[in-house]
Chains A and B, each alone.
Chain A
């Protein structure tokens, strides 16, 4: 760009074209009477015309509003979800029971637990902000499917987030199985029991 007198994009000064304007001399600065570049003017007019069309299109409803776009994209995503739900196994008590003791599943659950749950339920499930998961007392039911539901839907009123849309479906399942496996592990510093004992209701 700064090679002397060599510049591809910028024209060299041509003495014929450049006419100084008489009388324009400001502290030694003078001005040429050059026309505005044609392409510059052309694009300027083009953007103005485009703007008029855009505003008109918006007003007449030819261009999608935010809500239109949102609606379309939600339909798209909901279809994907329906497909995924159809393909996923139906998670019920017997499905979960079939996975109990499966080392691979428990391992997946352990990792997800460390990442997402341990901050509130403590590293070994002894409870901290959230309740103790190792005792036999449950606030929302202690069956595998109850645990799964508490994880998947959360208990927003009490501050337990819904993990259904945050973690994958495999992780949600694995978490339920993993937490079930913590029962009776008796870690140090357990939080006092909350809720009802298993089978107590």
Chain B
């Protein structure tokens, strides 16, 4: 093996190396907290996921009451695994590795603690508000505005703590792991703030600042890059620290690190629109999203290559080292998912995969394989170091690895098969030019066995993760009483005193000094300037964001207006909020694509101008049930009453949850007027009169719908129940463009 001269921490070439020795105590207590939180929330998040899997395979599992139906729980699952499981894992990695890479304790223990407890508080708030139906509905940005504000605050404290630690560093140059942390911290802040701009209508309710196409565009710029900068870049940082540590091998290629870092940071931000192929997003934006996704393939693989090639000469260690096993499989899934992602962003592939379980498979290859296994690898490496004793059972860790791997494979194979099967069935035509499977439920029944295989795979993964919890618990129990902070002695680096010297050098000396610095390349120089480095990262992510979003918002012909499209009536607006509260969007899309099979099945494809009053948009991303964009007028009111009360009464094999409470819960019109006023503020053309009479207008429309239901032979007296508002909304969906003449605001 190649050798290198051992160097003192600090920096080479200082003509008068400092002799001063400083003592650094790393804060490992905070890392222990984050590790424990990772495991606890991870198990909670996975358990909720398992419940959802069962609910889809066996609808009676929705029967736990209104707070626990599929639509309400799904955002809880995604938020728990993304922000609570992966989030806490990232923080554990950042706090452990940054201190050591910088040879400095975290800037402020108080800030670290505030960050930890603040973050856990946010998670608890999410776990309470989401089942209650308080949601912005935008995926991974569901939490309502008060929680968003707290999140911003906690993130800023984290960032300040991190950047001030950078300033206090005793290692001149930043290692690649830190580059990725910097990019993550900056970008997540930008994404979070821009996508969550809303106007509150109540303590936990709000309307998005953006409507329709704009809202969708910004949401998926956010959604895609939340995946990038919360689930990819910080995990690459994690990999760059913990993998070479665990393998005890140098990193394969520094030059590769540089190029793949900057290309990832620059390119990723452009790729969001590939979530909106064939929607009413203008095709130019969709095309930009596609080509940047293709260009993202190799930058992503740069990380995989640097990871796997670093293991050259260390493969034998895999046999008895569970940590490396987890890392190798994690990185392999990363490589798989980052090949598949660009592939799915190709429009024609996307036409098949979108809205199906193929996307679900893709996501879980990344989440369970890459994020999950990198996290578990890190945790197994950290446990003995943080608790200063041997891991309780290596065998149990190996069992975890194998069960987890089988679980992932079962899960994704089932979902690939379900997704492709259903996608093909949706588009199949028979020889007479008729849809082969016109009944949507046929395409659901066909994949039911796969939903059960997913339950099995998910259970295995969940069970295997509990083994990690047991291992941690047992190790911690036998830990020594004294878990005081580790202490290292570091020479005070000479470069810290440079400023003092600098004032005494003349111009020639300064120039010579710069030449000397540049002999290791410009990037090396940059690595010593965290502030400049961070600004450059901000520039890199801003380019794509601005080029895509600004023209979308400013250029009017991106959203051609349609004269007959009118604002929702007050009752319809309330119905829409019930639709949002119940999470119908997690099973139903409202976006018919310009594909013949969709036009055949659902009607004329959706136009950008139809969504201008949709705050937020409700396009959805998954069709567990049929698209509802043109539902208006398809069924009589009474059909909806029966269907919502018990979907099996109208669609015998339906897997949709029953919503009987909609027929008994009173409709709350308390904030209807306020809602209209906020909409007016956002530019929706209601009149002041309409806002003032909002309640009367709503009640009049409700009375009429209730009367029709009774006439059709349905139950009497529904006029003050939630169901009439929901029906008013559903009967409005997609009918405006069929109207000949524009008319005044409805009813």
In contact, B101 and A27 (Cβ under 8 angstroms)? yes
Q: CA separation between A67 and B605, bound complex, in Å?
A: 11
Q: With A80-B433, A159-B634 in contact, do A40 and B298 touch (Cβ < 8 Å)?
A: yes
Q: At the interface with chain A, which of B216-224, B302-310, B679-687? A: B302-310
- B252-260, B358-366, B491-499, B501-509: which lies at the A interface? B252-260
Whether a CB of chain B sits under 8 angstroms from the CB of A20 is yes
- For A120, the closest partner residue in chain B by CB is B639
Asked if A33 and B254 sit within 8 Å, CB to CB, the answer is yes
B-contacting 9-mer, from A48-56, A140-148, A174-182: A48-56
Number of A-B contacts (CB under 8 A): 204
A3 to B315, CA, bound (A): 7
Q: A residues within 8 A CB of B297?
A: 43, 47
Chain B residues 285 to 342 lying within 8 A of chain A, measured CB to CB, are 287-288, 290-292, 294-295, 297-299, 301-302, 305, 308-309, 311-313, 315-316, 318-319, 325, 328
A32 part of interface (Cβ distance < 8 Å):
yes
Q: Tell me the nearest residue of chain B to A51, going by C-beta.
A: B291
The one of B251, B292, B639, B642 in contact with A51, judged by C-beta atoms closer than 8 angstroms, is B292
Q: Is B429 located at the chain interface by the 8 A CB criterion?
A: yes
Inter-subunit contact B308/A32 (CB<8 Å): no
User: Within A1-52, which residues are at the interface with B (CB < 8 Å)?
Assistant: 1-7, 10-13, 15, 18-37, 40-41, 43-44, 47-48, 50-51
B712 beta carbon closer than 8 Å to chain A:
yes
B12 adjacent to chain A (CB < 8 Å): yes
Assuming the contacts A26-B171, A29-B251, A31-B250, asked whether A168 and B434 have C-beta atoms less than 8 A apart, the reply is yes
Distance from B663 Cβ to chain A, minimum over Cβ atoms (Å): 16
CA distance A77 to B328 in the complex (A): 49
CA distance A126 to B312 in the complex (A): 76
Stretch at the interface among B107-115, B574-582, B593-601: B593-601
- Evaluate contact between A10 and B431: CB separation under 8 angstroms: no
B interface residues, tally (CB under 8 Å): 86
Partner of B294, one of A50, A65, A67: A50
Q: Are A44 and B2 in contact (CB under 8 A)?
A: no
A63 to chain B, nearest CB (A): 9
**Residues in A neighbouring B167, C-beta threshold 8 A:** none
Measured between beta carbons, the chain B residues less than 8 angstroms from A158 are 636
Q: Within 8 Å of chain A (Cβ to Cβ): is B635?
A: yes
The distance from the CB of B341 to the nearest CB of chain A, in whole angstroms, is 13
A32-B252 contact given A5-B316, A20-B4, A158-B636, CB 8 Å threshold: yes
**Taking the complex as formed, is B555 at the interface, i.e. its CB lies under 8 A from any CB of chain A?**
no
Any chain A CB within 8 A of the CB of B651? yes
Whether B2 pairs with A18 at a CB distance below 8 angstroms is yes
User: Contact: A34 with B256, CB < 8 Å?
Assistant: yes
Cα A17 to Cα B495 with chains together (Å): 32
Indicate the size class of the contact surface on chain A: 35 or more
| Contact of A159 with B639 in the complex, beta carbons under 8 Å | yes
Is A30 within 8 A of B251, CB to CB? Answer: yes
**A120 to B318, alpha carbons, bound, how many Å?**
63
Of A27, A47, A77, which one neighbours B596 at CB under 8 angstroms? A77
Take A4-B316, A40-B302, A158-B636 as given contacts and tell me if A84 and B253 are in contact as well, using a CB distance cutoff of 8 Å: no
Which residue of chain B is the closest to A73 with respect to CB atoms? B596
- The answer, among B100, B312, B328, B650, for a CB contact under 8 Å with A119, is B650
Q: Could you tell me if B291 and A129 are in contact, using CB atoms closer than 8 angstroms?
A: no
- Are the C-beta atoms of A81 and B292 separated by less than 8 Å? no
Residues of A within 8 A of B240 (CB): 29
Q: In whole angstroms, what is the CA distance A102 to B325 when docked?
A: 69
Which of the residues B2, B245, B287, B318 comes within 8 Å of A29, measured between beta carbons?
A: B245
Q: Is the CB of A34 within 8 A of B255?
A: yes
B319 interface neighbour in A2, A30, A41, A79, Cβ under 8 Å: A2
Q: Would A22 and B5 count as touching, CB distance under 8 A?
A: yes
Kindly state whether residue A110 has any CB partner on chain B within 8 Å.
no
Kindly state whether residue B367 has any CB partner on chain A within 8 Å: no
**Contacting pair B291 A32 (CB below 8 A):** no
A137 within 8 A of B: no
Pick the contact of B245 from A28, A40, A156 — CB < 8 Å? A28
Q: Which residues of A contact B252 (CB under 8 A)?
A: 32, 34
Q: Is residue A62 within 8 Å, beta carbon to beta carbon, of the partner chain?
A: no
Cross-chain contact of A15 among B2, B171, B263 (Cβ < 8 A): B2
Distance (whole angstroms) from the CB of B192 to the closest CB of chain A: 29
User: How far, in angstroms, from A9 to B316 measured CA to CA in the complex?
Assistant: 15
A81 with B433, Cβ < 8 A, contacts A20-B250, A26-B171 known: yes
A58 CB contacts on chain B under 8 angstroms: 283-284, 287
Is the C-beta of A139 less than 8 angstroms from some C-beta in chain B? no
Decide: A12 and B254 in contact? CB cutoff 8 A. no
A157 sits at the interface (CB 8 A)? yes
In the complex, whether B210 has a CB less than 8 A from a CB of chain A is no
Interface contacts beyond A2-B319, A31-B257: sample of 12 additional A-B pairs, CB < 8 Å, sorted by A: A22-B4, A29-B241, A30-B244, A32-B2, A36-B302, A40-B302, A41-B298, A50-B291, A119-B650, A161-B635, A165-B438, A168-B434
19 A-B contact pairs sorted by A residue (CB < 8 Å): A1-B318, A5-B313, A7-B315, A23-B173, A26-B101, A27-B245, A29-B245, A31-B250, A31-B251, A31-B253, A34-B254, A40-B302, A48-B295, A58-B284, A70-B605, A73-B595, A84-B433, A119-B649, A119-B652
List the 3 shortest-distance A-B pairs measured between CB atoms, nearest first.
A4-B316, A159-B636, A84-B432
Task: List residues of A whose CB falls within 8 A of some B CB.
Answer: 1-7, 10-13, 15, 18-37, 40-41, 43-44, 47-48, 50-51, 54-55, 58, 65-67, 69-70, 73-74, 77-81, 83-84, 119-120, 128-129, 156-159, 161, 165-169, 191
Chain B positions within 8 Å of A, measured between CB atoms, are 1-7, 9, 11-12, 97, 100-101, 103, 171, 173, 175, 240-241, 244-245, 250-257, 259, 263, 278, 283-284, 287-288, 290-292, 294-295, 297-299, 301-302, 305, 308-309, 311-313, 315-316, 318-319, 325, 328, 429, 431-435, 438-439, 520, 594-596, 599-600, 605, 633-636, 638-639, 642, 649-652, 712-713
